[in-house]
Amino acid sequence: MTKIKVGVIGGAGYTAGELLRILINHPNVEIVFVNSSSNAGNSITDVHSGLIGETDLVFTSELPFEKVDALFLCSAHGDSKKFVDSNEIPSNIKIIDLSTDYRAKSSNHDFVYGLPELNRDEIKEANRVANPGCFATAIQLALIPLASAGLLSDEIHVNAITGSTGAGVKPSATSHFSWRNNNISIYKPFGHQHLEEIGQSLRQLQPDFNKAINFIPVRGNFARGIYVTAYTNCTLNLDEAKNLYNDFYKDAVFTFVVDKNPDMKQIVNTNKGLVYLEKHGDKLLIISMIDNLLKGASGQAVQNMNLMFGLDEKTGLGLKSIGF
């Protein structure tokens, strides 16, 4: 099979580094260029040292669109739209955007929301895909089976803790090691930016859903992973809930409903999502977890690329967790 020729825009961050790691080892991909104006002329391994010995690629400031079949946009939030608007990208090039810029449905763009567990068929036919947010992915995996059955009838309470890589590669006051280590804190309670796309997806499945999603994001003192605990009132007993979730995810290649209370180490460094259920009185407790840089970003982006080009969904994503 002819290899998919790809270009990467904004290649210096954590998500770009993970994306390059996957694409270098993807059997059906050839990386044509990695664009970064601030790093142009430097070796990829000068920035992503974990790739030493795996690539001789060099960052470039050029944009040879005519040489690629697909573009991954790893730019900062707000910059992807600027890039698309300011460049004449040939219509035959498929685009996968990892920023927030196109996640909200709008008549002003034709990007499909790229959560395969929700929109697999649409992604297969799409020319442009908006990759979901990391918190949004984990929380949606916890809730969309209930929405699919019209069972979200009350407020939803979500607490989710994320690793420091979710804050990006540039150190800040709340991501620097000396602050983050041996520490925990919340931020943007009840007002996180991912709530918009979560609500959008829930209403896609359950149009009458109008209850609050009470989301408390937490900064964890670890590097990668997202661990979600969510609960809401639910009329199903535990066996009925498990049957609903297992049926909803029966064709999902990376999302698994597990019977034992899982640990986050089971998913770190993989493209998997694990979901676990408990019933406590009238409340259904859902635990969901993903690697924020993989299923929450770059791994899911490659999963979407595979779907868009008719490949097996799992191609290039056979990654083992780092449980030990």
Q: In sequence order, what are the beta bridge partners of 97?
A: 73, 130
Please name the CATH architecture into which domain 4-131+297-308 falls. Answer: 3-Layer(aba) Sandwich (3.40)
Which value, in Å, is the radius of gyration of the alpha carbons in the chain? Answer: 19
The reported pLDDT for the residue numbered 323 is 75
Q: Which residues are catalytic?
A: 134
- Reported as a single tens digit per residue, the pLDDT across 253-311 is 999 999 999 999 999 999 999 999 999 999 999 999 999 999 999 999 999 999 999 99
Query: What pLDDT score does 169 carry?
Result: 66
Q: Which residue has the higher pLDDT, 178 or 78?
A: 78
Domain with CATH 3.40.50.720 in the chain: 4-131+297-308
| Neighbour-count burial of 190, counting CB atoms closer than 10 A to its CB (0-12 exposed, 13-18 middle, 19+ buried) | exposed
Give dist(CA 135, CA 199) in Å, integer: 13
Q: Which DSSP letter does residue 309 get?
A: T
Instruction: Tell me the two tokens of residue 106.
Output: 């709008």
Please, what is the average pLDDT of the chain? 94
CA distances from 220 to 9, 158, 236 (A): 29, 15, 32
pLDDT score, position 11: 82
> 29-35 and 226-233 as β-strands: parallel, antiparallel, unpaired?
unpaired
How many whole angstroms separate alpha carbon 119 and alpha carbon 144?
Answer: 12
Write the DSSP symbol of residue 2.
P
Highest CATH level, class, for 134-290: alpha beta
List pLDDT tens digits, range 76-134: 888 999 999 999 999 999 999 999 999 999 889 999 999 999 999 999 999 999 999 99
Q: pLDDT class for 168, splitting at 50, 70, 90?
A: low
Please write the tens of the pLDDT for every residue from 157-167: 999 999 888 76
- Stronger pLDDT, 187 or 150, i.e. the higher one: 150
Q: What residues does CATH 3.30.360.10 cover in the chain? A: 134-290
